[in-house]
Amino acid sequence: MGRKFFVGGNWKCNGTIEEVKKIVSTLNDSKAPPQDVVVVVSPPFVFLPLVQSLLRPDFQVAAQNCWVKKGGAFTGEVSAEILVNLGIPWVILGHSERRSLLGESNEFVGDKVAYALSQGLKVIACVGETLEQREAGSTVDVVAAQTKAIAERISDWKNIVVAYEPVWAIGTGKVATPDQAQEVHSELRKWLTDNVNAEVAESTRIIYGGSVNGANSKELAAQLDIDGFLVGGASLKPEFVYIINSATEKVAAI
């Protein structure tokens, strides 16, 4: 298949220096992940240099956001250029919490993705529907519109990972069933085939996020079009290592 399994850990707005050091120590002491698995952790901005300095070299670091254009008089924001200067390779953009709490539109997220890529960052681009949208039967339309806003602004997909995160499953303990997640991932890949090209559809990793934990990660990983995870709360716990190793299910399923 050629798509490297990808496991991201989004620490969100959590942690103290002591807690961060403990999480990193757990990761550093873990067995090496399965071959061809990319592991990226995303601490709060203030901990990025600390985590990067302590974390084992086969794991990477991501910022949780960046500004939509070049830095300047934008108090509280962090630009793509700053992240590049710090040597941070990845950034998460379009997370549903920013879309809902801060009003980031599809177009704004698309602009952010395009600018971050133009500055040399790799992007974890998030899409996903609310419970109301799912119950209305508009899941595919919603994630297609979110993806379209990105596709209209970029031409090169090699540095993008798409994270499908149903909003109703984030932090709620509810998880899309493996069949539900696979269905949306398959539809997203079909959308990329029809609206970008077959090569991009085949090579782009589409990962799942939404209350992923050690109890459900293996079954989710075995699905054909699920190429990894963006993990929230469980990425702060030792079970994150177990989730990373669920990539073995993907190998077994191929």
**What pLDDT was estimated at residue 35?**
76
Which helix (H) or strand (E) segment is 160 a member of? strand 160-164
Residue 253 pLDDT level (bands cut at 50, 70, 90)? low
Q: What is the reported pLDDT for 72?
A: 97
Q: What is the predicted pLDDT for the residue at 173?
A: 83
Residue among 95, 97, 129, 249 flagged as catalytic = 95
Is 104 noted as a catalytic residue in this protein?
Answer: no
Letter for the amino acid at 240? Answer: F
Q: Are 112 and 83 in contact (CB under 8 A)?
A: no
pLDDT at 167: 92
Q: Is pLDDT at 70 greater than 60 in this prediction?
A: yes
The residue from 129, 165, 185, 249 that is catalytic is 165
Q: How far apart are CA 110 and CA 160, in angstroms?
A: 12
Q: Considering the chain, what is the average pLDDT of its residues?
A: 95
Tokens read off for 81? 């250029």
* pLDDT at residue 254 greater than cutoff 60: no
CATH of the domain at 91: 3.20.20.70
d(CA 220, CA 250): 9
Give me 176's structure tokens: 């899309």
Average confidence (pLDDT) over 174-188 = 94
111-145 pLDDT, tens digit each: 999 999 999 999 999 999 999 999 999 999 999 99
For residue 247, the model assigns a pLDDT of 84
Distance of CA 146 to the CA centre of its chain: 15
Domain count, the chain: 1
From CA 125, how far away is CA 146, in angstroms rounded? 10
Note down the domain range covering 244.
5-253
Mean pLDDT (whole number) for 75-81: 98
Percent of the chain with pLDDT over 90: 89
pLDDT tens digits along 18-44 = 999 999 999 999 987 877 799 999 999
User: What digits encode the pLDDT tens for the residues 206-235?
Assistant: 999 999 999 999 999 999 999 999 999 999
Instruction: Categorise residue 120: left if φ over 0, alpha if ψ from -120 to 50, beta otherwise.
Output: left
3-state secondary structure of 92: strand
Assess whether 185 carries a catalytic annotation: no
Instruction: Report the range out of 90-104, 160-174, 237-251 with the highest average pLDDT.
Output: 90-104
pLDDT, position 157: 98
Question: How confident is the model over 82-110, as a mean pLDDT?
Answer: 97
Q: Which residue has the tokens 């630009």?
A: 79
